[in-house]
Structures are given as C-alpha cells and as structure tokens.
C-alpha cells in the first residue's frame, strides 16, 4: 500500500500565526513525547513512522509549501503540484507519479489522507485495514469514517446502507448508501442514529481505478504529461469527481480520538499548556490561552474564554467561540508574510518603511541553520547590507569567496550575485533598500552549494 498525504490550504483561520506562506499544519503548537514543540504535520509524520507507514508515504502539495515540508519533515518524498487546483487534480497527479515514476503496480492500493488529522495511534492501524478491505471487497473505494461524538453541523456524513454490515478478517464494514454535507443539528442527530460517520477525508483505492478514470476522461497517465497539462485539469474536489460517482463504496468506522484543529477554539483545547511564549496570564483569568511569537511579553488580565495570539503578522484577541469568524474578518486585509520558514532556516521582518518618493527600507533577521545555504542570487530592485550577528559562514559576492563571522558587515549592490552558507548556526540582520522589496525579486542562479562553489574564486 502507498499513502498520499494531502497538504493543502494556506488558511487564515489561525491568523496571525498562519499566513499565506505558513498554513495551520506547520504551526509548532503541540508537544511531542520528548517535550519539544511540534507541528500537526510533524505529529502525523511521527505517528506514521511508529505505525511503520512512513516508508510508503508521499506528501502531495503545492510549490509554495515545499520548503516548509522539507524544513519540518526532512527527506519526506514530495509530489509537487505545479499550481493549486483542488483535490481531484492533486490526487490525479499523485496517481500518475506513483504509476509512471515510482512504478507502482496497478493492483496496489493507494490511500489518501489529510496531512493534519489530530488522532491517536489507532487511526493508523485502521488505515492499515483499508488495504485488505479494498482487495477483498473489490469495492471502487474504501473509506474510513469517524464515529461521531456529537451532532456536528461542520462535517460531511457518510451514511451506510441499512443491513449491509459485513466483515473482512477482523474489520467490520458497511456498503455506503449516500453522503450528506454539513447537515443541521436535527438532521445530524437522525443521521447518527442511523450509524452515519463523519467523513474525515481518508479514501483507499486500487491504483488502476484512478488510472482508468484518467484514461476514460482523456487525461494523461504519464506524470510528465500530466504536469504539462495540469493547468487544464478541472478544479474540482475528489469527493465530487470520484467519491460521489463511484459505484461500490465501503466504509469502516474508526471510533478513536479524532479532532479537526482548524480554529483557535479547537486548537487550544488540544494544547498541553495555556501559554506559549513570553508573558503572564493572571490567575483570575479562566479558560484563557496566550500564544506569543513576539520577543516582548504579553500580559493577560482577568479575561475568560479568550485566546490572545501574536506574531510578526499581527495580534488577535478573541473570545473563543467567536474565533472561527477570523477568516471572514480578514477577507480584505492584504499583507506580505512577516515570518517564513525556508529550506535553509527562517527569517523575520523586523521593520518596514515606505518613503513618499517610493523608496522602501526593510529590515530582516535571517537565521541560517548550520550546513545550509541560501541560493546564489541577485536582486534587480534592491541593494542589501548584512551585519553578521552570530556564527560563522562562507560568503560569495560576484564569484569572490571569503569566510565571514560575527561583526562582519557585507554590502551587496543591486545586481550583485551573492550567497551565504552557515558553517555554524548563523544569524544576520539584513537591511534592504530599493523599490518593491518582495521575495519575488530573488533571481536564483544556483541552489546547491557545490554548484555555487564551482563559480567561486578566493579573495
Ligand atoms: O532564494 P533563497 O535561497 O530562498 O534565499 C532568499 C533569501 O535571500 C535573501 O535575498 C538574502 O538574504 C533574503 O532576503 C531572502 O529571504
């Protein structure tokens, strides 16, 4: 069996920690068994490893998230969508990748799951059961549904066919009768009485089912061709294009812990601590959480059922039940990301100023991890002055190589070709000066340090 984890959406529901480049699944707000902070993606990857499944897992995502996944999961294999289109195209691309690049047999089962379910280990054991279910029932698709714990109006429900209960080995399953999307509470209650399950986005199928679907629809089945034609794929969800049209669907129930940590109120319920970052919550505050990513302390006094979240992108103070409304509130607010994690480390914007005559100044703290480097690059619209704050590194400017250390000041003119590699963890303050100070003005010439060194000569 192969697993494909879908890593989608940028999502503003956990703003200001999530932004256009940092989706909720990458926020380090959970705690791992070693007592270190971990993100939802890291938690799932760790759990997959423990269940012996990470060897056969691939992460399907858009270009924008690749560096974040590499930085958080290391060498996890990634299938990159040329552009964001929806879950059917993403899964179709993954199927062609498995078929024509990895050489997976058409008889092998592929299981799709979201990259961020908050679940316990039993969830992954259940995923293992899906393989046998597909193979033994000859169903088009086998689904895993979560046994509901309350009549939620937020989720889709999978409704089983009455009297269709059967068993494969130790796995109980039903034939699926239909789906009901986000019912009202009364309908949800009736559905639950009818043994309906929450749809948690876990689907398993034999690879030939998907490949045949692509052939029938006239889509390519070779990965390279699919990449070329990706912009022509219909933007449609896998649920609409495949699941709801499949002839034989079976579902098995997972009755363990499952939670969607998509909003501040659900996320804070899962946090082991009521405070992350600098600050104080007064003892007279109840059910209140503080998540502070800034370097200054935040004091919360006498507030009940509140989340205070701060980051370089902004500050949120919300009553817990109102927190899901944040996405709507931010609809018309445009702002560049002020913090990003990259394959080489992270940066934070410390200050930004635009002068009347159009000149801009942007100051960043750049943190490069030992052994990593930024690309050999140039900028057309800005010059940069870097002050190395800590650590040691290697620096190249217009092919001239030199070692650098804390205290050195480096001046990079507009158009200057430059790169830096950290020998030890390296931090520098970068002052950019020019017009349009955006990440898009990074013209990358080479990425790998070995290639960059081939260009260099010692000063
Ligand atoms: O192209 P890369 O390797 O991601 O490097 C980009 C980084 O390099 C710089 O241009 C120079 O430090 C930063 O402003 C930017 O974040």
The residue whose two tokens read 């409304």 is 325
Torsion (CA) 145, 149, 151, 156 in degrees, nearest 10: -20
| ipTM, 2 dp | 0.93
pLDDT digits (tens, 9 = 90+) for 413-439: 999 999 999 999 999 999 999 988 888
pLDDT digits (tens, 9 = 90+) for 209-225: 999 999 999 999 999 99
Task: State residue 406 phi and psi, 5-degree precision.
Answer: -50, 135
At the second CATH level, the architecture of 344-458 is Sandwich (2.60)
The ligand 1 atom at the shortest distance from the C-alpha of residue 375 is 3
Confidence class for position 456, pLDDT limits 50, 70, 90 = confident
Annotate 333-352 with b (16+ C-beta within 10 A) or e (fewer): eeeebbbbbbbbbebbbeee
Give pLDDT, residue 11.
65
pLDDT digits (tens, 9 = 90+) for 353-391: 999 888 999 999 999 999 999 999 999 999 999 999 999
pLDDT digits (tens, 9 = 90+) for 146-201: 999 999 988 899 999 999 999 999 999 999 999 998 899 999 999 999 999 999 99
Q: Which helix (H) or strand (E) holds 404?
A: strand 400-405
Of residues 93, 57, 79, the one with CA closest to residue 223: 93
Q: What percent of the chain has pLDDT over 90?
A: 76
The 3-state DSSP class for residue 228 equals helix
Using CB distances shorter than 6 Å, the residues near ligand 1 are 342, 344, 347, 366, 374-375, 377, 430, 439, 442, 444
Give pLDDT, residue 424.
98
The residue whose two tokens read 């002020």 is 338
Give pLDDT, residue 407.
98
In this predicted structure, the answer to whether residue 19 has a pLDDT above a threshold of 90 is no
| Span from the CA of 418 to the centroid of ligand 1 (angstroms) | 10
pLDDT digits (tens, 9 = 90+) for 68-111: 898 899 888 999 999 888 899 999 999 999 999 999 999 999 99
Mutate to test the pocket of ligand 1, among 344, 377, 380, 412 (most ligand atoms within 8 A of CB): 377
Q: Domain segments of the chain: what residues?
A: 2-259, 273-319, 344-458
Tell me which residue has its CA closest to atom 10 in ligand 1. Answer: 442
| Span from the CA of 361 to the centroid of ligand 1 (angstroms) | 16
Mutate to test the pocket of ligand 1, among 374, 385, 436, 444 (most ligand atoms within 8 A of CB): 374
Q: Look at 259 and 275; give whichever has higher pLDDT.
A: 275
| Span from the CA of 442 to the centroid of ligand 1 (angstroms) | 7
Q: What contacts 24+ positions apart, CB below 8 Å, involve 21-27?
A: 21/64, 21/68, 21/337, 21/340, 22/68, 22/337, 22/339, 22/340, 22/341, 23/65, 23/68, 24/116, 24/261, 24/262, 24/267, 25/115, 25/116, 26/65, 26/68, 26/72, 26/341
* Candidates 1.10.260.40, 3.90.550.10, 3.30.700.30, 3.40.50.720; CATH matching 2-259: 3.90.550.10
Q: Give the pairing type, strands 289-292 and 275-276.
A: parallel
pLDDT digits (tens, 9 = 90+) for 35-53: 998 999 999 999 999 999 9
pLDDT digits (tens, 9 = 90+) for 138-153: 999 999 999 999 999 8
Of residues 387, 393, 452, the one with CA closest to residue 422: 393
pLDDT digits (tens, 9 = 90+) for 53-78: 999 999 999 887 888 898 899 888 99
CA distance 354 to 357: 8
Give pLDDT, residue 197.
97
Give pLDDT, residue 53.
92
DSSP 304-370: SSEEEEEETTEEEEEEGGGGGGHHHHTTT-----SEEEETTEEEEEEEEEE-TTS-EEEEEEEEE-T
pTM of this prediction exceeds 0.80: yes
């Amino acid at each position: 069996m192969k697993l494909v984890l879908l890593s989608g959406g940028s999502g503003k529901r956990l703003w200001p920690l999530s932004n256009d480049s940092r989706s909720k699944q990458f926020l380090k707000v959970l705690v791992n068994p070693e007592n270190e902070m971990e993100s939802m993606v890291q938690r799932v990857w760790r759990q997959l490893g423990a269940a012996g499944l990470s060897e056969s897992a691939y992460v399907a995502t858009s270009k924008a998230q690749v560096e974040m996944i590499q930085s958080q999961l290391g060498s996890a294999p990634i299938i990159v969508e040329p552009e964001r289109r929806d879950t059917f195209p993403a899964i179709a691309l993954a199927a062609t990748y498995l078929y024509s690049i990895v050489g997976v047999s058409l008889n092998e089962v592929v299981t799709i799951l979201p990259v961020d379910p908050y679940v316990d280990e039993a969830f992954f054991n259940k995923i293992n059961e899906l393989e046998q279910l597909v193979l033994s029932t000859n169903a088009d698709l086998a689904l895993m549904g979560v046994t509901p714990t309350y009549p939620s109006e937020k989720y889709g429900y999978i409704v089983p066919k009455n009297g269709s209960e059967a068993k494969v080995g130790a796995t109980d399953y039903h034939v699926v009768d239909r789906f009901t999307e986000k019912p009202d509470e009364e309908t949800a209650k009736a559905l639950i009485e009818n043994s309906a399950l929450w749809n948690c986005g876990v689907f398993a199928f034999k690879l030939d089912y998907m490949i045949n679907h692509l052939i029938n629809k006239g889509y390519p089945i070779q990965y390279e061709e699919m990449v070329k034609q990706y912009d022509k794929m219909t933007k449609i969800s896998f649920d609409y294009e495949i699941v709801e049209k499949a002839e034989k669907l079976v579902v098995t129930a997972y009755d363990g812990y499952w939670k969607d940590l998509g909003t501040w109120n659900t996320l804070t319920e899962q946090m082991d601590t009521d405070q992350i970052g600098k600050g104080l919550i007064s003892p007279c505050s109840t059910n209140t959480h503080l998540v502070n990513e800034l370097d200054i302390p935040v004091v919360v006094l006498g507030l009940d059922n509140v989340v205070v979240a701060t980051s370089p992108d902004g500050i949120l103070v919300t009553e817990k039940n109102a927190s899901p409304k944040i996405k709507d509130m931010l609809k018309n607010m445009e702002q560049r990301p002020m913090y990003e994690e990259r394959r080489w480390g992270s940066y934070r914007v410390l200050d930004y100023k635009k002068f009347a005559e159009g000149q801009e100044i942007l100051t960043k703290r750049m943190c490069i991890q030992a052994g990593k480097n930024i690309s050999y690059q140039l900028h057309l619209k800005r010059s940069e002055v870097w002050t190395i704050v800590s650590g040691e590194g290697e620096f190249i400017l217009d092919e001239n190589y030199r070692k650098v250390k804390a205290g050195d000041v480096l001046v990079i003119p507009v158009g200057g070709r430059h790169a830096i590699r950290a020998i030890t963890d390296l931090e520098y303050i970068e002052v950019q000066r020019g017009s349009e100070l955006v990440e898009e003005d990074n013209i990358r010439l080479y990425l790998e340090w070995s290639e960059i060194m081939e260009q260099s000569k010692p000063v």
